Amino acid sequence: MSLLIRAMPRTALLRASILKSQPCLSALAKRESSTGNHTPLWTAERAVSAALIGVTPLALAMPNPATNFLLSLALTAHIHWGMEAIAVDYVRARVVGSVLPKLAMGAVYGLSFATLGGLMYFNFTDVGLANAILMFWKL
Amino acid sequence: MNAILRGGVYGRCLTRSLLSSQCVPLRASSSIPSEAFFEKQKALKRPLSPHLSIYKPQLTTVLSISHRISGIGLTAVVYGMAIGALASKGQFPECIAAIQAAHVSQAIIIPTKFLTSSAFFFHFYNGIRHLCWDMGLGFTIKELYLTGKIVVVLSAVSAAYATFML
Ligand code: HEM
Ligand code: HEM
């Protein structure tokens, strides 16, 4: 058992809720850090994913400044955590050395800020995210 | 009999070992494999596990990696839109007008729509499937395959509808 746990990638595994409460497993928990309580972050990630189930169709059905704002915010947060997980899983210091993981993480943060800024700028100065999708779909 | 017995014994062992004695709460420092452990693994030059080119693709694994791939694909679209909005001077309607003026063939537009809507609907429905797992639901092999098939069918129907009917 302990060998099995050790051989697992350190990032994730623990997301499965059956294992969530096991203290021996949560020590290996998410992201690169091995300290701190990661449950609130995990819950926030799922809450944003769940919110997208409602916010995405809502924004497309009623595109307005409020729904565009909500969609852009939720989408950027969701994308940020998703791409962060992917960077942590595949750009590992063990495999690629200590520099690339930092660059990858920096890229994820940079792209997330640019995305949030870009989408908000687009919402305030142009037709807005949901409208843009609808306009594209009419082509 | 034999099978039942085995199933029962293994099942109970697994539950017990997960829940109690063998799962000693470890401190963070002792739970992280040592440098020597990784050196040894590296020296063994093991292939990637599971060995992707010989491991049989199954609905479960194919949908798992597809969730990631669709997430990355959709993300690329959003990154592109957001950075495009920052980088370009024009307004979006002008951009749409330019595409219209270019008379892009339906042979390009239809596959593009089908591809993006497939990625979106698959990720959407499979995302709901993920969230069900996160609540502890749907982990039996039977449920895994059933919900997987439902997601595939729903995605195909939704993408076809979005491509041809909207
Ligand atoms: C070709 C086969 C496989 C594919 C395509 C595959 C794909 C994936 C993907 C995409 C993830 C991302 C995590 C997520 O969606 O939450 C993942 C996570 C994981 N996989 Fe696999 N996998 C395969 C086989 C296996 C096998 C055979 C095992 C174990 C014996 C395994 C153990 C894990 C574990 C422990 C995680 C982390 C779980 C989590 O993040 O919640 N995988 N896999
Ligand atoms: C609209 C409803 C959506 C729902 C319900 C949803 C749900 C989810 C869930 C639950 C996960 C976590 C999977 C895991 O546990 O590992 C996830 C991952 C992800 N999502 Fe979404 N998602 C949605 C839309 C989107 C969109 C529109 C994008 C991109 C523009 C996106 C990009 C991603 C990425 C990049 C990941 C990381 C993939 C991974 O870790 O394997 N999602 N999504």
Q: How confident is the model at residue A16 (pLDDT cuts 50, 70, 90)?
A: very low
| Residue of chain B whose alpha carbon sits nearest to that of A86 | B68
Q: In three state form, how does the secondary structure of A73-121 look?
A: HHHHHHHHHHHHHHHHHHCCHHHHCCHHHHHHHHHHHHHHHHHHHHHHH
Tell me what the pLDDT averaged over chain B comes to. 85
- Contact between A82 and B71 using a beta-carbon 8 Å cutoff: yes
> Which residues of A are annotated as part of the binding site for heme b?
78
For residue A61 and ligand 1, the question of a CB distance below 6 A is answered with no
Most confident of A21-30, B3-12, B16-25: B16-25
User: In sequence order, what are the residues at sequence separation of 6 or more whose Cβ sits closer than 8 angstroms to the Cβ of residue B144?
Assistant: B59, B60, B138
Residue B159: exposed, middle, or buried by beta-carbon count in 10 A (0-12, 13-18, 19+)? buried
ipTM, 2 decimals? Answer: 0.78
Q: Cα A101 from chain centroid?
A: 17
Give mean pLDDT, residues B33-56.
Answer: 87
Q: CA A30 to CA A35: how far, in whole Å?
A: 10
Q: Does ligand 2 come within 6 angstroms of the Cβ of B67?
A: yes
Q: What is the pLDDT of residues B78-117, one digit of tens each?
A: 999 999 999 999 999 999 999 999 999 999 999 999 999 9
Ligand 2 pocket test: pick from A15, A49, A84 the residue with the most ligand atoms within 8 Å of its Cβ: A49
On the CB side of B68, CA atoms within 13 Å amount to 12
- Give the model's pLDDT for residue B42: 84
The length of chain B in residues reads 166
Both tokens of residue A29?
Answer: 């928990």
**What pLDDT band is residue A94 in, cutting at 50, 70 and 90?**
confident
DSSP label at residue B105: -
Residue of A nearest to B125 (CA): A53
Q: What is the pLDDT of residues A51-78, one digit of tens each?
A: 999 999 999 999 999 999 999 999 999 9
CA distance A67 to chain B (A): 16
- Structure tokens, A26: 């949560």
Is the pLDDT at A29 greater than 60? The verdict is: no
How far B85 CA lies from chain A's nearest CA (Å)? Answer: 6
Q: Write the pLDDT tens digit of every residue in B114-149.
A: 999 999 999 999 999 999 999 999 999 999 999 999
Q: Chain A: nearest CA to B92, how far in angstroms?
A: 7
The confidence band for A122, taking pLDDT boundaries of 50, 70 and 90, is very high
d(CA B162, CA B147): 22
Residue positions forming the annotated binding site of A = 78, 90
A8 vs A75, higher pLDDT: A75
Q: Which of A32-41, A93-102, B139-148 has the lowest mean pLDDT?
A: A32-41
Cβ(A26) to ligand 2 under 6 A?
Answer: no
Cβ-Cβ contacts under 8 Å between A and B: the total is 115
* Separation between Cα atoms, residue B85 and residue B38, nearest integer Å: 45
pLDDT of res. A27:
33
Restricting to B residues 131-160, those with a Cβ less than 8 Å away from any Cβ of A are: 131, 133-136, 139
For ligand 1, the distance from its centroid to the CA atom of residue A7, given in whole angstroms, is: 13
pTM of the model: 0.82
* Cα separation values, B73 from B30, B94, B115, B119, B142, Å: 39, 25, 10, 7, 29
pLDDT value of residue A40? 96
Ligand 1: does its nearest atom lie under 6 Å from the Cβ of B64?
A: yes
The helix/strand/coil state of A38 is coil
The span from the CA of B77 to the CA of B65, in Å, is 19
| Nearest CA, atom 29, ligand 1 | B50
Measured by CA distance, the residue closest to atom 21 of ligand 1 is B61
Q: Is the pLDDT of residue A97 over 80?
A: yes
Structure tokens at A56: 């995405």
